[in-house]
Amino acid sequence: MLYLIEQCLNGIQLGMLLFLLAAGLTLIFGIMDLVNLAHGSLYMIGAYFAATFAAATSSFITGAALAVAATLVVGMVLEVVAIRRLYGRDHLDHVLATFGLILFFNDLVRWIWGPAGMSLPLPMEMLTAVEVLPGVFYPAFRLVIIAATLVVAVLLYILVMRTRVGMLIRAGASNREMVGALGINIKLLYTLVFGLGAALAGFAGLMQAPILTVQIGMGENILLLAFVVIIIGGIGSIRGAFVAAIIVGVMDTIGRAFLPDLVRTFVSAGAGSSAGPALSSMMVYMLMAIVLVFRPEGLFPATSK
Amino acid sequence: MKRYLLAACAVAALATTPALAQQKTVKIGFISSFSGPVAAIGNDMRNSFELALDHLGRKIGGLPVEVIYEDDQVKPEVGLQKTQKLIESDKVDFMVGYIWSNVLLASLKQLVDSKTVTVVANAGASQLAGELCSPYVFSTSWNNDQLPRALGTYMNQKGVKSVFQIGPNYAAGKDNLDGLMLSFKGQVAGREMTRWPDQLDFSAELSKARAAKPDAIFAFYPGGAGVQFVTQYAQSGLKGQIPLYQTFTIDELSLPRLKDLAIGVPGVSHWVNDLPNEANKKYVADYKAKFKLSPSFYGSQTYDAAMLIDAALKETKGDTANKDSLRKAMEKADFKSVRGDFKFGPNHIPIQAFYLQDVVKEGDDYRLKTVAKIVDNDQDPHVGKCKMPN
């Protein structure tokens, strides 16, 4: 039982990370109708910035704050320079252009930081496990990830639901033309939203950096799961992204933790240890397929377009 | 006019062919990983091969040499495709490289069927030592299970009674986890195989290890994944509670990124940068001078591969056409290996010593240090399954 709680925490932690990525992705997809494959590159840039700034300032927190700000700027510049030209075009154009951006960013990072990758070391006091419940120990830094992401989620909720900018964002998601017709500077709004998405991705990258280290192409695998999250959650819906991210995170982790043992009870140990990991990595995609069949618009679709 | 010129060129080319044959160039195809997070391994191997050619005066066996490097992208299907390209269209005399057991196994049939003399500079798939052994394929590395088997011997000495095994779900992962059990006398408290190569978060597996309460954790994570595994092991707070033992997980490539996290994690290797033989001293010193980095065991094996081919070609006086005499010359392995004594078993896998290595900090530098010799003249356990034709 205690072990189950620990595995659920692992799942929630993965879910939190997916939420940070998916929130930006779903905002950009929902509001600008833009498929942004380069979102993972912003995640990578955030991690590289954090590693660089943390090393320069010898403080994890200062480095992290600077990295979020820098990724925000990179996102806004990217929107003005490249992404702006893609609105209203075919989705295939988006995929091609943003795939090109992935290659561009990978080589840019190789050019600036070299191919070897970097580390973002944690302060020594973070290298412990905390007793969250009697008998349940959990790595301190993973708890920090959960807590920090919850704070970000609440802030994002307040921003989108309680402020004027948020109102415009929601309005932009449901009827773009009307917002423009009402005299809102839609260009600026788009730049801000893209920057916000980039900052969220950068934050995800820097939170993950101490665990997974900083490498070229680090955003590409996780982006796939983030897309699964926004499809399950409903495109354009932050709430959907949050719920779906936790479902996907917990499902993936629980699958990894229990499925191999379950499979082993049915087939031989050798086949089980190969089939288990394979089967558990399929589970989230099966969930996505089921959602697409029964609720093609996702679990929490954004209000009608 | 154009046509005449072309014809003239063709005639000229034909006329010069015999002259070229006398100044024959040895062509070597080199497969490794040069892109993505594991590019550091490929670069180390290429650096070492180039350094060996420098030491040989940019010649091999006294002949001019051309090396064609190809990237397998850590994918078996890409490795096979590049192998085919090197053999069929580049018509190479030798093949060298292969980091990954699964990439090697996918390409092996192509290598054997074309009778291309191959020096595997890392991948130690157990099948290669056993039923799939070939007269034309040689290894300057080891068999996957030799290192964990030596480590198991050490763990017995340390009085470890139960172990939790974690490794990636591919050929070498299975070989390593099984290899430990060839000598380890304690219980297996659990065995986890993770998705390879894209799973880099091991939270679920480390939680399982914590719940199983073993005496020790054994991990095999080569390349970048080793950095992630050891980092997460330290972050999970397990470091003070359950000691970690590893093979191939901590090396000179991961050490600059792991730093203090790697201290106190023992490992096993057939080569350590401080082995006190002359060939090794020259290799390590010149490598550091030329590339401003420390070589890793991947590089040491590749350096040996170049020296092995050089010695064999000197023996055959540069003849690469007679495969049987070339094979015999390769089997002699008449060269100074950077690991010290080197000889081939009947399955063309080296018979060699394995050392316990530890991480030490010297000033701001971290490096691996030889602690003790665990086994000497160690032969892989699959040699009996190899039916090597004479």
Per domain, the residue ranges of chain B are: 2-142+275-348, 146-269+355-378
**Residue A58: which residues within 8 A CB-CB, separation 6 or more?**
none
Please report where in the chains the tokens 């051309």 appear, as a residue: B66
Helix (H, G, I), strand (E, B) or coil at B344: strand
Torsion from C-alpha of A220, A223, A224, A229, nearest 10 degrees: 170
Q: Which residues of A touch B228 (CB under 8 A)?
A: 211-213
Residues B202, B203, B207, B209: what is their CA dihedral angle, to the nearest 10 degrees?
10
Per-residue pLDDT tens over the stretch B190-237: 999 888 888 889 999 999 999 999 999 999 999 889 999 999 999 999
> Are B201 and A119 a contacting pair at CB < 8 A?
no
Cα(A43)–Cα(A21) distance, rounded to whole angstroms? 8
The DSSP H or E segment spanning B244 is: strand B244-247
CA B324 to chain A, closest CA, distance in angstroms equals: 40
Which secondary structure element, helix H or strand E, spans residue B377, and what is its range? strand B365-378
Residues of A with CB under 8 A from a CB of B: 2-3, 6-7, 10, 13-14, 115-119, 121-122, 126-129, 137, 139-142, 210-213, 215-218, 221, 253, 256-257, 260, 273-274, 276-278, 281
**Domain boundary assignment for chain A:** 16-294
- pLDDT at residue A273 in the model: 65
A-B interface: how many C-beta pairs under 8 angstroms?
Answer: 105
What are the backbone dihedrals phi and psi of residue A111, each rounded to the nearest 5 degrees, phi first?
-70, -40
Residue A269: what pLDDT?
Answer: 64
- Closest Cα partner for A235 from A40, A18, A34, A16? A34
Contacts of B211 in chain A (CB under 8 A): 2-3, 6
Q: What's the angle, vertex CA B73, arms to CA B58 and CA A281, rounded to 5?
A: 155
Question: Which tokens belong to B165?
Answer: 């095994």
Q: How many CA atoms lie within 13 A of A43 on its CB side?
A: 34
Distance (Å) from the alpha carbon of B222 to chain A's nearest alpha carbon: 14
The H-or-E segment that residue B309 falls in is: helix B297-315
Q: Residue B234: list chain A partners with CB under 8 A.
A: 127
Residue of A nearest to B227 (CA): A213
Point out which residues pair with B355 in neighbouring strands: B269, B373
For residue B197, cis peptide bond before it (omega within 30 degrees of 0): yes
Whole-number Å distance between alpha carbons of B166 and B220: 7
Chain A residue with CA closest to B257: the answer is A119
For residue A78, what pLDDT is reported? 97
pLDDT given at position A261: 79
Which residues does chain B have within 8 Å of residue A257's beta carbon, measured at their own beta carbons? 204, 207-208
B244: which chain A residues are within 8 Å (Cβ-Cβ)? none
- What are the tens digits of pLDDT across the range B23-48? 689 999 999 999 877 888 999 999 99
Instruction: Tell me what pLDDT residue B18 has.
Output: 45
Q: B354: which residues sit within 8 A by CB, 6+ positions away?
A: B146, B147, B150, B268, B269, B270, B373, B374, B375, B378
Give the residue from A43, A122, A127 with the most B CB atoms within 10 Å of its CB, the best one to mutate.
Answer: A127
The string of pLDDT tens digits covering residues B313-333 is 999 999 999 999 999 999 999
- Per-residue DSSP letter, A114: -
Residue burial A25-50, b: 16+ Cβ < 10 Å; e: rest: bbbbbbbbbbbbbbbbbbbbbbbbbb
pLDDT number for residue B17: 46
Angle at B331 between CA B327 and CA B337, to 5 degrees: 130
CA-nearest residue to A276 within chain B is: B193
Q: Give percent of chain B with pLDDT exceeding 70.
A: 94
Are the CB atoms for B196 and B249 separated by under 8 Å? no
- The mean pLDDT value for B371-381 works out to 95
Say yes or no for a CB contact (<8 Å) between B207 and A10.
Answer: yes
Calculate how close chain B gets to A209, using CA atoms only, in Å.
Answer: 10
Which fold is adopted by the domain B146-269+355-378?
Rossmann fold (3.40.50)
Q: Which two tokens stand for residue B232?
A: 């997460």
pLDDT at residue number B5: 55
Whether A212 sits inside 8 A of B228 (CB atoms) is yes
CA dist B388 to B104, B131, B204, B261, Å? Answer: 19, 9, 44, 44
Rounded to whole angstroms, the Cα distance separating B309 from B326 reads 9
In which residue are the tokens 């802030």 written? A155
The answer to whether the Cβ–Cβ distance between A253 and B198 falls below 8 Å is: no
Q: Which residues of chain A have pLDDT under 70?
A: 269-274, 303-305
pLDDT for residue B36: 75
| CB atoms A253 and B257 under 8 Å | no
How far apart, in Å, do the first and last CA atoms of chain A sit? 45
The values of phi and psi at residue A167, to 5°, are: -60, -45
CA of residue A207 relative to chain centroid, distance: 11
Contact A141 B191 (CB under 8 A): no
CATH class for domain A16-294? mainly alpha
List all residues 6 or more positions away from B325 whose beta carbon is below 8 Å from its beta carbon. Answer: B316, B319
Which residue do the tokens 């065995």 mark? Answer: B191
Q: How many residues does chain B have?
A: 390
pLDDT, residue B55, reads: 97
Interface test with A, best of B175, B203, B210 (most A CBs within 10 A): B203
Kindly report the average pLDDT of chain B as a whole number: 92
To 10 degrees, the CA torsion angle through A163, A168, A172, A173? Answer: 10
CA B111-B147-B177 angle, 5° bins:
90
* Nearest neighbour of B195 by CB, restricted to A7, A127, A281: A281
- What tokens does B269 get? 């290797």
Which residues in chain A are closer than 8 Å to B195, comparing Cβ atoms?
Answer: 277-278, 281
Asked if B64 contacts B26 with a C-beta cutoff of 8 angstroms, the reply is yes
pLDDT at site B10: 54
* Calpha distance A94→A33 (Å, rounded): 10
pTM across the whole model: 0.88
CATH of span B2-142+275-348: 3.40.50.2300
B97-145: pLDDT as tens digits: 999 999 999 999 999 999 999 999 999 999 999 999 999 999 999 999 9
Q: Could you tell me whether strands B59-60 and B63-71 are parallel, antiparallel, or unpaired per DSSP bridges? A: antiparallel
- Long-range contact set of residues B320-328: C-beta below 8 Å, sequence gap at least 24: B320/B26, B320/B93, B320/B94, B320/B117, B323/B115, B323/B117, B323/B136, B326/B117, B327/B117, B327/B135, B327/B136
Residues of chain B neighbouring A141 (CB-CB closer than 8 A): 235
Of A28, A108, A42, the residue nearest A75 (C-alpha):
A42
Tell whether the model's pLDDT for residue B20 goes beyond 60.
Answer: no
Inter-chain residue contact A118 with B257, CB threshold 8 Å: yes
Contacts with A278 from chain B: Cβ below 8 Å: 169, 195
Chain B residue nearest residue A126, CA to CA: B235
* Residue B234: per-residue pLDDT: 93
Q: Which residues of A touch B38 (CB under 8 A)?
A: none
pLDDT at res. B22: 53
pLDDT of residue A135: 84
Which of A21, A223, A273 is most worth mutating to test chain B (most B CB atoms within 10 A of its CB)?
A273
> What residues of A are in contact with residue B210 (Cβ under 8 Å)?
6, 137
Q: Cβ separation of B193 and A273 shorter than 8 Å?
A: yes
- Chain A nearest-CA distance from B277, in A, is 30
Q: Which residues of A touch B256 (CB under 8 A)?
A: 116
**Closest in B191, B228, B238 to A213, CB measured:** B228
Are the Cβ atoms of B195 and A277 closer than 8 angstroms? yes
